[in-house]
Amino acid sequence: MDRFEYADPRPVQSEEFLMRENGVKLYDGDNKTTFEGGEAVVSNTRILWGRPGDIPRGQTCICLPLFYVVFIEEEQRTFSFSSARKFVLHLSEPRQGKAQGPVTWSQYNFVKLSFKEGLHHDFMAILQNALVMRAWEKLQLGPTPATGSQSMADRKWRSGIVGIERKIEEKHKATDESISLAFQDLSRLMNMAKDMVAISRSISTKIREKQGDITEDETVRFKSYLLSLGIDDPVTRGAFSNQNQYFQSLSRQLAQILEEPIKEVGGMMSMADVYCRVNRARGLELLSPEDLMSACRLMSTLQLGLCLRTFDSGATVLQLSDHNDSIIVENTAASLEEHGSLSATELAKVLGISVLLAKERLLTTEKQGKACRDESLEGVRFYSNLFLTREE
């Protein structure tokens, strides 16, 4: 809440109001505030909140400049009789010279907006579009002019078909400028990444403080945020004079970022999953399948703790160098004994792995004599080998 400022709700310069909702409640992080049951107005530069009737009358209200908003998400609803929808706005650090607001300091880097009376507009889509347009960079927001003549001069009154066409044309022009700017200036993307890192640290602190209060869904969502941050300095071909140095450096970097995820999924990961994880983390510096395979083949030679493995079926996976098939066979046999019988799809659901890896686990277990198969019209099912486990 320390990013909110006291402000005049009247539009300044080329500010445009995009939507208005009633019955809006503000949260400082997870804490409730006294700002409830008010009216919220979203413009292309800020979010205004005021008591019912204050904004239309031009009375002082509070506002959140959109340049503070890093990203927005809708909070997952739990079982409740309330129909209110909540949106979480993650914010960057307060700027120097910020105007006075209702709160001088807050421990949270996010606020929540609760719409008790439901939504008549697509709040998330409208706000995300405003964040993409970044209209505040083209405007120099300041206090509203004191005299009525200056205020009238700053406003552009438009009416009729000509005004509508002019407004559409200006929006198209602004969109084209934003797209051009996005491709020309990537430094802003890096600034956004810094804000994301700060947010990830605050979330990790919250997880440590509330160890038992964080649900599995929230943990999965947090991991997806961290994965979206990507690699700080991805290895690229242009940075090396020869291919050997490039593939060796790439192999070391891949081993560094893939070792922990492969351990989490049981010591083995399909190359399709490896390819998706690596390129998602690299962002704009995408890696070709050929370069990925070449780098993975070097891992065993460089003793990086990972190595490629090709099964009899032709499927190729990346696994830990100390991976032991006997442990996999014992675990798979135990799953078969617990469930009676399993198909590859069912085992994948039980272990949380891909169907390809589940099928190879079952085939390896069968090859070791710990399982047997039954082929029918319904497909292939695997059973425990009772000839080894039971004596008649």
Determine, yes or no, domain membership for 196. Answer: no
Same domain? For 316 and 339 the reply is: no
261-267's contacts with Cβ under 8 Å and 24+ in sequence apart are 262/306, 262/318, 262/319, 262/320, 263/320, 265/352, 265/353, 265/357, 266/328, 266/351, 266/353, 266/357, 267/319, 267/320, 267/323, 267/328
Same domain membership, residue 380 and residue 259:
no
Whole-model pTM above 0.75?
no
Say which CATH number the domain at 361 has.
1.10.10.10
Looking at the fold, whether 66 and 126 belong to one and the same domain comes out as yes
Looking at the fold, whether 342 and 370 belong to one and the same domain comes out as yes
Q: Domain containing 78 — which CATH number? A: 2.30.29.30
Q: Judge if 281 and 350 occupy the same domain.
A: no
How far is residue 167's CA from residue 76's CA, in Å, rounded to a whole number? 36
Q: What is the pLDDT of residue 211?
A: 56
Q: State both tokens at 26.
A: 């503000």
Structural domain includes residue 13? yes
DSSP states along 203-259: HHHHHHHTTTT--HHHHHHHHHHHHHH--SS---GGG-SSHHHHHHHHHHHHHHHHH
| Shared domain check, 131 and 39 | yes
Measured from the Cβ of residue 207, the count of other Cβ atoms closer than 10 Å reads 14
pLDDT of residue 182: 57
Q: Letter for the amino acid at 260? A: E
Query: Is 211 within the bounds of a domain?
Result: no
Are residues 347 and 294 both part of a single domain?
no
226 part of a folded domain: no
Residues 349, 382: one domain?
Answer: yes
Contacts with 61 (C-beta within 8 Å, 6 or more apart), sequence order: 6, 7, 9, 48, 49, 50, 51, 54, 55
* Sign of the alpha-carbon torsion through 99, 103, 109, 112: negative
The tally of domains found in the chain comes to: 3
- Say what the pLDDT of residue 88 is: 92
If asked whether residues 329 and 316 sit together in one domain, one would say no
The reply to whether 16 and 130 lie within a common domain is yes
Indicate the residue among 266, 301, 320 that finishes a domain.
320
Residue 65 lies in a domain: yes
pLDDT value of position 89 = 93
For residue 105, the one-letter residue type is W
Which pLDDT does position 42 carry in this prediction? Answer: 93
Query: What DSSP line would sit under 326-356, residue for residue?
Result: HHHHHHHHHHHHHHSEE-HHHHHHHHT--HH
Whether residue 223 is contained in a domain is answered as no
**Is 349 part of a structural domain of the chain?**
yes
pLDDT at 66: 93
In one letter, which amino acid is 320? L
Domain that holds residue 63: 5-138
pLDDT value at residue 179: 60
Burial class (CB in 10 A: 0-12, 13-18, 19+), 19: middle
The last residue of one of the domains, among 138, 158, 189, is 138
d(C-alpha 7, C-alpha 134), whole Å:
20
Q: What residues in the chain have per-residue pLDDT under 70?
A: 78-83, 139-163, 176-233, 389-392
In a domain, 58, yes or no: yes
Q: Are residues 349 and 261 part of one domain?
A: no
**Residue at which a domain ends, from 272, 302, 320:** 320
Rounded Cα–Cα distance for residues 380 and 392 (Å): 27
- Are residues 298 and 342 located together in one domain of the fold? no
Q: What is the pLDDT of residue 305?
A: 87
